[in-house]
Amino acid sequence: MKIYIDGKYLDEADAKISVFDHGLLYGDGIFEGIRAYNGRVFRLKEHVDRLFYSAKAILLEIPISPAEMIKAVVETCRQNHLRDGYIRLVVTRGVGTLGLNPNRCKNPSVIVIADKIQLYPKEMYNNGLDIVTVPTTRNLHNSLNPAIKSLNYLNNILAKIEANNAGVEEAVMLNADGYVAECTGDNIFIVKGHQLQTPPLSAGALYGITRGVVMDLAREAGLQVSEPNLTRYDLFNADECFLTGTGAEMIPVVKIDGRVIGTGKPGAVIQSLTAKYHALTQSSGEPI
Protein backbone atom coordinates (compact mmCIF):
# COMPACT_ATOMS: atom_id res chain seq x y z
CA MET A 1 0.00 0.00 0.00
CA LYS A 2 1.19 3.52 -0.84
CA ILE A 3 0.36 6.34 1.57
CA TYR A 4 0.63 10.02 0.71
CA ILE A 5 2.46 12.13 3.31
CA ASP A 6 3.41 15.71 2.48
CA GLY A 7 3.89 15.23 -1.23
CA LYS A 8 5.51 11.78 -1.11
CA TYR A 9 4.03 8.34 -1.72
CA LEU A 10 5.48 6.00 0.90
CA ASP A 11 5.19 2.27 1.55
CA GLU A 12 3.01 1.47 4.56
CA ALA A 13 6.05 0.45 6.65
CA ASP A 14 7.70 3.81 5.97
CA ALA A 15 4.61 5.99 6.43
CA LYS A 16 5.36 7.54 9.81
CA ILE A 17 4.82 10.78 11.68
CA SER A 18 6.79 12.32 14.52
CA VAL A 19 5.84 11.67 18.14
CA PHE A 20 5.95 15.47 18.47
CA ASP A 21 3.15 15.96 15.93
CA HIS A 22 0.33 17.84 17.65
CA GLY A 23 -2.20 15.67 15.85
CA LEU A 24 -0.92 12.79 17.98
CA LEU A 25 -0.17 14.75 21.15
CA TYR A 26 -3.36 16.81 21.32
CA GLY A 27 -5.75 15.65 18.60
CA ASP A 28 -4.94 18.97 16.92
CA GLY A 29 -5.97 18.34 13.34
CA ILE A 30 -8.86 17.51 11.05
CA PHE A 31 -9.94 14.66 8.80
CA GLU A 32 -12.38 13.44 6.17
CA GLY A 33 -13.63 9.97 5.33
CA ILE A 34 -14.35 9.60 1.60
CA ARG A 35 -15.58 6.70 -0.55
CA ALA A 36 -14.57 5.55 -4.02
CA TYR A 37 -17.05 3.60 -6.13
CA ASN A 38 -16.62 2.11 -9.58
CA GLY A 39 -13.43 4.05 -10.30
CA ARG A 40 -14.75 7.41 -9.07
CA VAL A 41 -14.30 9.33 -5.81
CA PHE A 42 -17.81 10.21 -4.62
CA ARG A 43 -18.52 13.83 -3.63
CA LEU A 44 -14.78 14.60 -3.42
CA LYS A 45 -15.15 18.36 -3.84
CA GLU A 46 -17.71 18.51 -1.03
CA HIS A 47 -15.41 16.57 1.30
CA VAL A 48 -12.42 18.77 0.47
CA ASP A 49 -14.54 21.90 0.98
CA ARG A 50 -15.62 20.63 4.41
CA LEU A 51 -11.98 19.87 5.27
CA PHE A 52 -11.01 23.46 4.49
CA TYR A 53 -13.99 24.78 6.51
CA SER A 54 -12.82 22.70 9.50
CA ALA A 55 -9.28 24.03 9.01
CA LYS A 56 -10.48 27.62 8.98
CA ALA A 57 -12.45 27.06 12.18
CA ILE A 58 -9.33 25.93 14.05
CA LEU A 59 -6.95 28.42 12.35
CA LEU A 60 -5.04 25.63 10.63
CA GLU A 61 -3.43 26.65 7.34
CA ILE A 62 -3.48 23.71 4.95
CA PRO A 63 -0.20 23.85 2.97
CA ILE A 64 -1.78 22.88 -0.38
CA SER A 65 -4.76 24.23 -2.30
CA PRO A 66 -8.14 22.47 -2.62
CA ALA A 67 -7.30 21.59 -6.25
CA GLU A 68 -3.97 20.08 -5.16
CA MET A 69 -5.76 18.18 -2.40
CA ILE A 70 -8.17 16.68 -4.93
CA LYS A 71 -5.22 15.63 -7.12
CA ALA A 72 -3.46 14.04 -4.12
CA VAL A 73 -6.55 11.99 -3.22
CA VAL A 74 -7.09 10.77 -6.79
CA GLU A 75 -3.40 9.95 -7.28
CA THR A 76 -3.28 8.00 -4.00
CA CYS A 77 -6.17 5.88 -5.29
CA ARG A 78 -4.27 5.34 -8.54
CA GLN A 79 -1.08 4.37 -6.74
CA ASN A 80 -3.07 1.71 -4.85
CA HIS A 81 -5.10 0.56 -7.88
CA LEU A 82 -8.21 1.37 -5.84
CA ARG A 83 -11.53 1.52 -7.70
CA ASP A 84 -13.81 0.77 -4.73
CA GLY A 85 -12.76 1.66 -1.21
CA TYR A 86 -12.38 4.17 1.57
CA ILE A 87 -10.07 7.18 1.69
CA ARG A 88 -8.95 8.82 4.92
CA LEU A 89 -7.74 12.39 4.45
CA VAL A 90 -5.91 13.85 7.47
CA VAL A 91 -4.32 17.23 8.14
CA THR A 92 -2.40 17.62 11.40
CA ARG A 93 -1.04 20.78 12.98
CA GLY A 94 2.41 19.26 12.47
CA VAL A 95 5.53 18.85 14.57
CA GLY A 96 5.79 21.16 17.58
CA THR A 97 6.92 21.16 21.19
CA LEU A 98 5.40 19.36 24.16
CA GLY A 99 3.53 22.57 24.97
CA LEU A 100 0.05 23.38 23.69
CA ASN A 101 0.99 26.43 21.63
CA PRO A 102 -0.01 25.72 18.00
CA ASN A 103 2.23 28.58 16.81
CA ARG A 104 5.21 26.33 17.53
CA CYS A 105 4.01 23.99 14.77
CA LYS A 106 5.47 25.48 11.60
CA ASN A 107 4.59 22.82 9.00
CA PRO A 108 1.15 21.16 9.00
CA SER A 109 1.12 17.62 7.57
CA VAL A 110 -1.22 16.25 4.90
CA ILE A 111 -1.84 12.49 4.88
CA VAL A 112 -3.97 10.45 2.45
CA ILE A 113 -4.71 6.76 3.06
CA ALA A 114 -6.68 4.74 0.49
CA ASP A 115 -7.89 1.35 1.72
CA LYS A 116 -11.02 -0.71 2.47
CA ILE A 117 -13.66 -0.30 5.19
CA GLN A 118 -16.60 -2.32 6.51
CA LEU A 119 -18.33 -0.50 9.34
CA TYR A 120 -21.19 -2.91 9.98
CA PRO A 121 -21.70 -6.59 9.14
CA LYS A 122 -23.85 -7.24 6.05
CA GLU A 123 -26.66 -8.88 8.05
CA MET A 124 -27.18 -5.60 9.91
CA TYR A 125 -27.97 -3.87 6.60
CA ASN A 126 -30.46 -6.63 5.83
CA ASN A 127 -32.06 -6.89 9.27
CA GLY A 128 -31.48 -3.45 10.80
CA LEU A 129 -29.60 -2.15 13.83
CA ASP A 130 -30.52 -2.26 17.50
CA ILE A 131 -29.20 0.96 19.09
CA VAL A 132 -29.36 2.73 22.45
CA THR A 133 -29.29 6.28 23.79
CA VAL A 134 -26.18 6.94 25.88
CA PRO A 135 -25.41 9.37 28.74
CA THR A 136 -22.45 11.04 26.98
CA THR A 137 -23.73 14.40 25.70
CA ARG A 138 -22.73 15.79 22.30
CA ASN A 139 -20.09 18.52 22.45
CA LEU A 140 -21.43 22.05 22.94
CA HIS A 141 -21.09 24.49 20.03
CA ASN A 142 -19.15 26.89 22.24
CA SER A 143 -16.68 24.22 23.38
CA LEU A 144 -15.69 21.95 20.48
CA ASN A 145 -18.16 22.71 17.72
CA PRO A 146 -19.58 19.44 16.30
CA ALA A 147 -19.33 20.95 12.80
CA ILE A 148 -15.52 20.68 13.04
CA LYS A 149 -14.44 17.20 11.94
CA SER A 150 -11.41 17.19 14.22
CA LEU A 151 -8.95 14.48 15.20
CA ASN A 152 -10.24 14.77 18.75
CA TYR A 153 -13.04 12.19 18.63
CA LEU A 154 -13.11 11.33 22.33
CA ASN A 155 -16.67 12.60 22.67
CA ASN A 156 -17.77 10.09 20.02
CA ILE A 157 -15.52 7.32 21.33
CA LEU A 158 -16.92 7.59 24.87
CA ALA A 159 -20.42 7.23 23.43
CA LYS A 160 -19.26 4.26 21.33
CA ILE A 161 -17.87 2.60 24.47
CA GLU A 162 -21.26 3.01 26.14
CA ALA A 163 -22.93 1.43 23.10
CA ASN A 164 -20.48 -1.48 23.18
CA ASN A 165 -21.06 -1.92 26.91
CA ALA A 166 -24.80 -2.15 26.16
CA GLY A 167 -24.09 -4.86 23.59
CA VAL A 168 -25.00 -2.83 20.51
CA GLU A 169 -23.07 -1.33 17.59
CA GLU A 170 -24.24 2.26 17.69
CA ALA A 171 -25.48 4.95 20.06
CA VAL A 172 -27.82 7.93 19.88
CA MET A 173 -26.23 11.06 21.33
CA LEU A 174 -28.36 13.86 22.77
CA ASN A 175 -27.30 17.48 23.13
CA ALA A 176 -27.26 19.44 26.38
CA ASP A 177 -30.95 20.35 25.90
CA GLY A 178 -31.98 16.70 25.56
CA TYR A 179 -32.64 16.84 21.80
CA VAL A 180 -31.29 14.20 19.45
CA ALA A 181 -27.99 15.29 17.87
CA GLU A 182 -26.57 12.34 15.93
CA CYS A 183 -24.97 8.94 16.45
CA THR A 184 -21.28 8.34 17.20
CA GLY A 185 -20.28 8.28 13.54
CA ASP A 186 -23.47 8.78 11.57
CA ASN A 187 -26.38 11.16 11.10
CA ILE A 188 -29.84 9.87 12.05
CA PHE A 189 -33.13 10.11 10.14
CA ILE A 190 -36.72 9.13 10.86
CA VAL A 191 -39.69 8.62 8.54
CA LYS A 192 -43.16 9.66 9.70
CA GLY A 193 -45.84 9.30 7.04
CA HIS A 194 -44.60 11.18 3.97
CA GLN A 195 -42.09 13.16 6.02
CA LEU A 196 -38.36 12.55 6.33
CA GLN A 197 -36.91 14.25 9.39
CA THR A 198 -33.37 14.65 10.69
CA PRO A 199 -31.97 16.78 13.55
CA PRO A 200 -30.90 20.29 12.57
CA LEU A 201 -27.20 21.11 12.43
CA SER A 202 -27.81 23.47 15.37
CA ALA A 203 -28.69 20.42 17.52
CA GLY A 204 -25.11 19.16 17.23
CA ALA A 205 -25.31 17.13 14.03
CA LEU A 206 -22.32 17.02 11.70
CA TYR A 207 -22.66 18.64 8.28
CA GLY A 208 -22.90 15.15 6.80
CA ILE A 209 -22.12 14.80 3.09
CA THR A 210 -24.23 11.62 2.84
CA ARG A 211 -26.91 13.36 4.92
CA GLY A 212 -27.19 16.09 2.29
CA VAL A 213 -27.27 13.61 -0.61
CA VAL A 214 -30.05 11.58 1.04
CA MET A 215 -32.11 14.72 1.72
CA ASP A 216 -31.84 15.66 -1.97
CA LEU A 217 -32.83 12.16 -3.09
CA ALA A 218 -35.80 12.19 -0.70
CA ARG A 219 -37.05 15.52 -2.08
CA GLU A 220 -36.74 14.18 -5.63
CA ALA A 221 -38.81 11.16 -4.53
CA GLY A 222 -41.60 13.44 -3.30
CA LEU A 223 -40.98 13.23 0.44
CA GLN A 224 -41.33 16.28 2.66
CA VAL A 225 -37.90 16.84 4.19
CA SER A 226 -37.50 18.85 7.40
CA GLU A 227 -35.01 19.42 10.22
CA PRO A 228 -37.00 19.83 13.44
CA ASN A 229 -35.65 19.33 16.94
CA LEU A 230 -36.27 15.65 17.68
CA THR A 231 -36.61 13.90 21.03
CA ARG A 232 -36.32 10.22 21.92
CA TYR A 233 -40.14 10.12 21.86
CA ASP A 234 -40.04 11.06 18.17
CA LEU A 235 -37.55 8.29 17.44
CA PHE A 236 -39.56 5.66 19.34
CA ASN A 237 -42.74 6.49 17.43
CA ALA A 238 -41.25 6.80 13.95
CA ASP A 239 -42.45 4.61 11.07
CA GLU A 240 -38.84 4.04 10.04
CA CYS A 241 -35.40 5.05 11.24
CA PHE A 242 -32.01 4.88 9.57
CA LEU A 243 -28.46 6.21 9.80
CA THR A 244 -26.31 7.80 7.11
CA GLY A 245 -22.57 8.29 6.79
CA THR A 246 -19.79 7.99 4.24
CA GLY A 247 -18.50 4.75 5.71
CA ALA A 248 -21.86 3.30 6.74
CA GLU A 249 -23.71 4.63 3.67
CA MET A 250 -27.36 4.01 4.71
CA ILE A 251 -28.30 1.47 7.37
CA PRO A 252 -31.75 0.82 8.89
CA VAL A 253 -32.50 0.96 12.62
CA VAL A 254 -35.22 -1.38 13.92
CA LYS A 255 -34.95 -0.97 17.69
CA ILE A 256 -34.01 1.95 19.97
CA ASP A 257 -33.74 1.57 23.74
CA GLY A 258 -35.80 -1.63 23.58
CA ARG A 259 -38.59 0.01 21.54
CA VAL A 260 -39.34 -1.62 18.19
CA ILE A 261 -39.37 0.94 15.39
CA GLY A 262 -42.25 0.60 12.90
CA THR A 263 -42.67 -3.04 11.88
CA GLY A 264 -39.31 -4.04 13.34
CA LYS A 265 -37.95 -4.56 9.82
CA PRO A 266 -36.27 -2.21 7.30
CA GLY A 267 -39.07 -0.15 5.72
CA ALA A 268 -39.95 0.79 2.16
CA VAL A 269 -38.54 4.33 2.33
CA ILE A 270 -35.07 3.29 3.50
CA GLN A 271 -34.99 0.52 0.89
CA SER A 272 -36.02 2.88 -1.91
CA LEU A 273 -33.58 5.63 -0.89
CA THR A 274 -30.76 3.11 -0.50
CA ALA A 275 -31.30 1.88 -4.06
CA LYS A 276 -31.24 5.47 -5.35
CA TYR A 277 -28.12 6.24 -3.31
CA HIS A 278 -26.24 3.20 -4.60
CA ALA A 279 -27.20 4.06 -8.18
CA LEU A 280 -25.85 7.59 -7.70
CA THR A 281 -22.55 6.39 -6.18
CA GLN A 282 -21.97 4.11 -9.15
CA SER A 283 -22.45 6.84 -11.73
CA SER A 284 -20.98 10.07 -10.32
CA GLY A 285 -17.75 11.32 -8.78
CA GLU A 286 -14.20 12.41 -9.59
CA PRO A 287 -12.71 9.86 -12.05
CA ILE A 288 -9.68 7.94 -10.80
pLDDT level of residue 118 (50, 70, 90 thresholds): confident
- Which of the 8 DSSP states describes residue 32? E
Question: Is 288 inside a domain boundary?
Answer: no
Residues 171 and 92 occupy one common structural domain: no
Cα 267 off chain centre by:
23
Residues 268 and 156 occupy one common structural domain: yes
CA distance linking residue 110 with residue 172, whole number of Å = 32
- Give the pLDDT confidence of 179-217 residue by residue, as tens digits: 999 999 999 999 999 999 999 999 999 999 999 999 999
Neighbour count for residue 241 (Cβ, 10 Å): 26
- Burial label for 234, CB within 10 Å (0-12, 13-18, 19+), is middle
Beta strand 170-174 with 129-133 is parallel
Residue 93 has pLDDT above 90, yes or no: yes
CA distance linking residue 242 with residue 227, whole number of Å = 15
Residues 205 and 248 occupy one common structural domain: yes
| Contacts of 7 by beta carbon, 8 Å cutoff, 6+ apart | 110
CA distance linking residue 208 with residue 34, whole number of Å = 11
Last residue of a domain, one of 63, 83, 115: 115
Q: Kindly report the average pLDDT of the chain as a whole number.
A: 97
| Contacts of 240 by beta carbon, 8 Å cutoff, 6+ apart | 190, 191, 252, 261, 262, 266, 267, 268, 269, 270
pLDDT level of residue 119 (50, 70, 90 thresholds): confident
- CB–CB of 142/126 below 8 Å? no
Residue 266 has pLDDT above 80, yes or no: yes
Last residue of a domain, one of 115, 150, 175: 115
pLDDT level of residue 237 (50, 70, 90 thresholds): very high
pTM for this predicted structure: 0.96
- Give the pLDDT confidence of 127-179 residue by residue, as tens digits: 999 999 999 999 999 999 999 999 999 999 999 999 999 999 999 999 999 99
Question: Is 231 inside a domain boundary?
Answer: yes
- CB–CB of 101/38 below 8 Å? no
Looking at residue 166, which CATH number applies to its domain? 3.20.10.10
Tell me whether residue 192 is one of the annotated catalytic residues.
Answer: no
Given 16, 149, 160, 255, the catalytic residue: 149
* Closest of 17, 25, 19, 150 to residue 100, by C-alpha: 25
**Which residue range(s) make up the domain with 87?**
2-115
Residues 83 and 169 occupy one common structural domain: no
Residue 98 has pLDDT above 80, yes or no: yes
Residues 153 and 58 occupy one common structural domain: no
Residue 117 has pLDDT above 90, yes or no: no
Residues 75 and 144 occupy one common structural domain: no
Last residue of a domain, one of 115, 135, 152: 115
Question: Is 259 inside a domain boundary?
Answer: yes
Residues 31 and 88 occupy one common structural domain: yes
Q: What is the pLDDT of residue 51?
A: 98
Looking at residue 62, which CATH number applies to its domain? 3.30.470.10
Residues 17 and 95 occupy one common structural domain: yes
Residues 86 and 205 occupy one common structural domain: no
In the chain, how many domains are there?
2
